[in-house]
Amino acid sequence: MRLVDTHIHLYDEKYLSSLDQILSDAEKIGVEAVICVAEDYETSLDTLRIASKNDSVYPAIGMHPWTALHSFDELERVIELIQRENRSIIAIGEVGLDRKYESGEKGYARQLEAFKKMVELAKEFDKPLNIHSRRAARDVLRILRVYNVEKAHFHWFTDDEDILREVVSMGYYVSFTPSITYSKRNQRLAKLVPPEQLLTETDGPVPFYGELKGKLTEPKHALLVLNKLAEIHGIEPSELAEIIWRNFEKLYLQ
């Protein structure tokens, strides 16, 4: 089976000393593609460096909504980097909006401005968006409609079912993390996403419960996500793996 981890932060210090082994372990179980997503200017540089040294790693760079809150002055540097490296990157990400950790209007306005800039760049360079939308997916959808965005991937979707139905109806892709192995709510959400719009991710180094409790989250754990999604949709894992690989190719490689 060909597997893909469409969202992970490989530059995190938890990975630095053993990154080669981590990627090798992932490759052994069939993980052929890993999208490393950035959060700010420095992690964008780190992402580009890691991808340049590892054929299975694809770089996505951009400004995370939390960065927009706390380091908004980085925005112009991130924009310039995307413009300069647009031929090297697979996507603009991790970008989006977040109302869980910032509900104040001043901070949210900064997120909105940064996200709109990222969307404009995605349109300019014909790149997909790798999107963070914690408690803000409806606002994200509104912006995507305004800009007529066709290529979007909602990572670790956690908003309500009605919004998810809108995401699906617009043809966007949705990925799930290892939390799906124990979260009944995430399992219900995953059931609403057709296999042709599903993607797998780990969001490492975010820790998880279940069988990953106390363990470092790695790209190889995309297999856990795949197996649970296959169970939810009543599809053989090998069949779903091929569908998800085609989804990855359609969104990110075409």
Q: What is the pLDDT of residue 106?
A: 74
Q: What is the CATH number of the domain that holds 35?
A: 3.20.20.140
Domain count, the chain: 1
User: Is it the case that residue 32 has pLDDT exceeding 70?
Assistant: yes
Q: What is the pLDDT of residue 102?
A: 60
Q: How confident is the model at residue 247 (pLDDT cuts 50, 70, 90)?
A: very high
Q: How confident is the model at residue 237 (pLDDT cuts 50, 70, 90)?
A: very high
12, 60, 153, 160, 207 from 43: Cα distances, Å: 9, 10, 20, 31, 20
Cα gap 197→128, rounded to integer Å? 14
**DSSP secondary structure of the chain:** --EEEEEE-TTSHHHHTTHHHHHHHHHHTTEEEEEEE--SHHHHHHHHHHHHH-TTEEEEE---HHHHHH-GGGHHHHHHHHHHHTTT-SEEEEEE--SSS---HHHHHHHHHHHHHHHHHHHHHT--EEEE-TTTHHHHHHHHHHTT---EEETT--S-HHHHHHHHHTT-EEEE-GGGGT-HHHHHHHHTS-GGGEEE---TTS--SGGGTTS---GGGHHHHHHHHHHHHT--HHHHHHHHHHHHIIIII-
Q: What is the mean pLDDT of residues 24-33?
A: 98
CA angle, 112 then 116 then 117, to 5°:
120
**pLDDT per position as a tens digit, 89-145:** 999 999 999 987 665 777 889 999 999 999 999 999 999 999 999 999 999 999 999
Q: From edge to edge, which strands make up the β-sheet containing 152-154? A: 3-8, 31-37, 57-61, 91-96, 129-132, 152-154, 173-176, 198-200
Q: What is the pLDDT of residue 101?
A: 66
pTM score of the predicted model: 0.97
Q: How confident is the model at residue 80 (pLDDT cuts 50, 70, 90)?
A: very high
Q: What is the mean pLDDT of residues 171-188?
A: 98
Q: How confident is the model at residue 43 (pLDDT cuts 50, 70, 90)?
A: very high
CB 159 within 8 A of CB 141: no
User: Is it the case that residue 177 has pLDDT exceeding 70?
Assistant: yes
Q: Which of 191, 137, 143 is nearest to 166 (CA)?
A: 137
CB 10 within 8 A of CB 47: yes
Domain that holds residue 245: 3-253
Q: What is the pLDDT of residue 100?
A: 76
Q: What is the mean pLDDT of residues 75-87?
A: 98
Q: What is the mean pLDDT of residues 174-192?
A: 98
User: Is it the case that residue 20 has pLDDT exceeding 80?
Assistant: yes
